Amino acid sequence: ETGVTQSPTHLIKTRGQQVTLRCSSQSGHNTVSWYQQALGQGPQFIFQYYREEENGRGNFPPRFSGLQFPNYSSELNVNALELDDSALYLCASSLKEQGNSPLHFGNGTRLTVT
């Protein structure tokens, strides 16, 4: 069973640039959620994708967008990067149809915006 994998592990971008982060869900999982974890804080929900459609969104501006592909992998795109976007971005997968299926997190992408 392959766990959740994210790439890249680290990334440095300049304010105003755009970034794409990638996530491969755990084998057998069809739902992907993205979270932002600022330093010293708990993760904050960005959005969730199920069957290639956005299935819930947290309090994040539209410059945070995502995609889910037919193989259930996912991308998180952030436009017009701001310094406050510096954080650990976590992807989590689960199986929607299994009621007790918990979220399985990847190890995240550490994004630094300078």
Partner 1 sequence: QQQVKQSPQSLIVQKGGISIINCAYENTAFDYFPWYQQFPGKGPALLIAIRPDVSEKKEGRFTISFNKSAKQFSLHIMDSQPGDSATYFCAASRGGSQGNLIFGKGTKLSVKP
Q: Is residue 108 a contact point for partner 1 (CB under 8 A)?
A: yes
Helix (H) or strand (E) holding 1, with range, is none
| CA–CA gap between residue 61 and residue 88 (Å, rounded) | 17
Nearest approach in angstroms of CB 37 to partner 1 is 8
Q: Is residue 30 a contact point for partner 1 (CB under 8 A)?
A: no
In Å, what is the CA distance from 64 to each residue of 1, 22, 40, 98?
Answer: 30, 14, 22, 28
Q: Using an 8 Å Cβ cutoff, are 74 and 34 in contact?
A: yes
24, 25, 48, 93: which one contacts partner 1 (CB under 8 A)? 48
Pair type for strands 74-78 and 19-24: antiparallel
Residue placing its CB nearer to partner 1 in the complex, 14 or 59: 59
2, 14, 71, 100: which one contacts partner 1 (CB under 8 A)? 100
Applying CB under 8 A, the residues found at the interface with partner 1 are 4, 31, 33, 35, 40-45, 48, 56, 58, 90, 92, 94, 96, 99-108
